[in-house]
Amino acid sequence: MNKKVIFSVLFLLVSCVEVLATIYNYRVLELIFKPLIAVTLVLLYLVNVSKPSFWFVSALFFSFWGDVLLLFPEDFFVLGLVSFLITHVIYIKIVSGYFNKIEISTKILSFLAFLMYFSVIVFLIKDNLKELLLPVIVYGLVISMFGTTALLNYIHNKTTENLWLLIGALIFILSDSVIALNKFYSEQPIFSSVIMITYIVAQFYICKGMIAKSNLKI
């Protein structure tokens, strides 16, 4: 069994245990396995590429700290938000480097689509945000930019790997939306498992796209 298969299986096992721990509220397993998602994803990425991207590994580094900090949302929610904000800024930097000329009208329309979606979420949760209103708005604008960048990248070049990056970005936005609704609108038991599943799938698709992109350059 080669390293690629080993780390693929390891990532799958870690992800499954974390999802089950979330569903059945096994706090000890969550504390152990949630941080391992980013760790195993980095390992999976490294064994699949010859020339790793410093920026992508950095993004997963901040994702790791975001996962750790959000294990204690009552104490470190804003710090966790900042960690993932940095992750998305790095993702924007990476993906924006894959395309050049896009018509300004296409850029505006793409961003407006994500901005309208974000505005609906903010409208629903605004009454419960209080002092978190500004941080959440900043975070929402950044992740909307990530979605816009991934969409523009796919419009520019409709390849499979660019589609994977777009899918990852869209599912990441969905995951963060459910977090916002769960925390600031209406807490539902099913939301925790939805958040974790969508987060894992989003990061996996982004990683899958990055592996394909890296191997195309060789």
pLDDT of residue 1: 62
Inter-residue contact 216 to 161 (CB < 8 Å): yes
Residue 51 has a CB neighbour count (10 Å cut-off) of 9
Mean pLDDT on 17-29: 95
pLDDT of residue 218: 43
Q: Is the pLDDT of residue 185 over 50?
A: yes
User: 180 Cβ partners below 8 Å, 6+ apart?
Assistant: 121, 125, 136
CA contacts within 13 A on the Cβ side of 80: 16
- pLDDT above 70 as % of the chain: 99
Query: Among 5-19, 55-69, 101-115, whose mean pLDDT is lowest?
Result: 101-115
Question: What's the whole-number average pLDDT of the chain?
Answer: 94
Q: Which residue is listed with tokens 């920026």? A: 55
pLDDT of residue 217: 57
